[in-house]
Amino acid sequence: MNIYCCMITLKDDAKALLFAKALDEWLGHLSTAGVIGEWRLMRRKLNLAADCYRDFMLEIEVDGLAQLDDAFRLTGAHDDEVAEKHRAVNDLIATAEFALYRPYPDMERAERMALL
């Protein structure tokens, strides 16, 4: 499993609950299509964070890069329903930074380390 992380700041006029609802509809669609696993949206609490952190943190589980590629491919497909769901989320975002994480040590490294 890999975690695709997004640190998100909404536009000044965007409503947080509207963003959460739009995200639920878009990622729910991707999940139903089988191109992502579980996902969670979290919001900073008590404004307690360093400057490099954003108001929202989104984590999306994917089995690997192939599944993540499938999610990007579905999002970029010429499908009006998917495009509208994606646009409803994207139109509310001012900035977003992304990262991809994996468990560590991963299975391959754990097996190699066991041989040492």
Answer yes or no: are the C-beta atoms of 8 and 54 closer than 8 Å.
Answer: yes
The DSSP code for 87 is: H
Question: DSSP character for 116?
Answer: -
**pTM of this structure:** 0.86
Burial of 82 (0-12, 13-18, 19+ CB in 10 A): middle
| Digitized pLDDT (tens) for each residue of the chain, 116 residues in all | 899 999 999 999 999 999 999 999 999 999 999 999 999 999 999 888 888 889 999 999 999 889 999 999 998 888 898 899 999 999 999 999 999 999 887 776 666 666 66
Domain CATH for 13 = 3.30.70.100
pLDDT for residue 33: 94
- Could you tell me where the beta strands, DSSP code E, fall in the chain? 2-10, 39-43, 56-62, 93-101
- Residue-range definition of the domain harbouring residue 9: 2-115
